[in-house]
Amino acid sequence: MTPQEAHDSPWSDLDRPPLNASSLRRALVRPGTLWSALDVVASTGSTNTDLAARAGALAEGAVLVAEEQTAGRGRLDRRWSAPPRSGLFFSVLLKPAVPAERWGWLPLLAGVATATAVSRTAGVDTALKWPNDLLVTVGGAERKAGGILAERAGGQNAGGADGAGGAAVVLGIGLNVTLRAPELPVPTAGSLALAGATATDRDPLLRAVLRSLETWYEAWTGADGDPAASGLQETYAAGCATLGRKVRAELPGDRAVTGEAVALDGHGRLVLATADGMQQPIGAGDIVHLRPAGGGDGA
């Protein structure tokens, strides 16, 4: 067997069986549901890039899953890498018929949906780090087990096109499932297995995440993207580990703001109460959870 054949074989790691694409399609791609197509590929550079390139020709609800990503990325163009079949790496195509100024809630919506599904299916307590990281606890410390990347695709018309064509969002989700400690890309990373997951079978986990995502997406679009009316704003805040913490927001242009994260505003921005008594909304930036006075890790 050649090295490439070993890499592609479903038996190259018995703890990491391949996804069953036909079973996933039977369970998820049905009339009356959001999901219109589901494809699983052995390896690709980035599912977000691949799906965005075809956005104009695909209906809303197309799903692309990769057993391995060789050029996966998160926010701020950070690399996202993991061994083959060690996690869930997938993107979905959405064409929300809601005002474009509310599309910024989509990565937060995906965070809520993913965290809910992981907690129920894998038995792991999860938390959200604003705006789009999924945290688990490994050895008493917060560790990042997942991330979300939302990118515009297709046309630029605001809010309303569905079916093929029109403005769209490609929502990418990466989740470390069975990564072992030596395989973690950085010391602050974690996985569901390392967090004590009671189940790490990726098929039911992917089904649960996509069904949860569909439920939240339908509630949000049904409320015309209103985060309060859909319950999204309240639910995200309830599960957000950033709120109530002292944080440092590292902003574009080598600027930084430190303060207590006190709220999410109606646009999904993180509101910081600073030492000078001001409240500053943060719409983009890297958030660092500062070490509490009593110890523990920043994240």
Domain ranges of the chain: 3-238, 246-289
34 φ, ψ (degrees, to nearest 5)? -70, -35
Of residues 227, 234, 265, 263, the one with CA closest to residue 99? 227
Band the pLDDT of 179: cuts 50, 70, 90: very high
User: Is it the case that residue 154 has pLDDT exceeding 90?
Assistant: no
Task: Report the C-alpha gap between 22 and 6 in whole angstroms.
Answer: 23
Q: Give me the half-sphere count of Cα atoms (radius 13 Å) on the Cβ side of residue 39.
A: 11
Band the pLDDT of 11: cuts 50, 70, 90: very low
pLDDT at 73: 56
pLDDT at 156: 52
Of residues 240, 246, 252, the one with CA closest to residue 284? 252
Q: What is the mean pLDDT of residues 123-139?
A: 97
Residues 211-230 as b/e (b if ≥16 CB within 10 A, e otherwise) read: bbbbebbeebbebebbbeeb
Find which of 38-52, 60-74, 141-155 is predicted with most confidence, using mean pLDDT: 38-52
pLDDT at 292: 55
User: Is it the case that residue 278 has pLDDT exceeding 60?
Assistant: yes
Find which of 89-93, 157-161, 254-258 is predicted with most confidence, using mean pLDDT: 89-93
* CATH class of the domain whose range is 246-289: mainly beta
Q: Is 201 left (phi over 0), alpha (psi -120 to 50) or beta?
A: beta
The angle that helices 21-28 and 202-222 make with each other, rounded to 10 degrees, is 30
Bridge pairing between strands 279-282 and 270-274: antiparallel
Q: Are 179 and 86 in contact (CB under 8 A)?
A: yes
User: Is it the case that residue 7 has pLDDT exceeding 60?
Assistant: no
Task: Report the C-alpha gap between 225 and 130 in whole angstroms.
Answer: 19
Cα–Cα distances (Å) from 233 to 174, 207, 220, 275, in that order, read 22, 24, 10, 26
Task: Report the C-alpha gap between 93 and 230 in whole angstroms.
Answer: 21
Task: Report the C-alpha gap between 182 and 31 in whole angstroms.
Answer: 43
Q: What is the rounded average pLDDT for all residues in the chain? A: 89
Q: Could you say which of 3.30.70.360, 3.30.930.10, 3.30.950.10, 3.30.70.270 is the CATH number of the domain covering 3-238?
A: 3.30.930.10
Q: What is the pLDDT of residues 56-102, one digit of tens each?
A: 999 999 999 999 999 755 554 556 678 999 999 999 999 999 999 99
Q: Are 42 and 17 in contact (CB under 8 A)?
A: no
Q: What is the mean pLDDT of residues 3-31?
A: 78
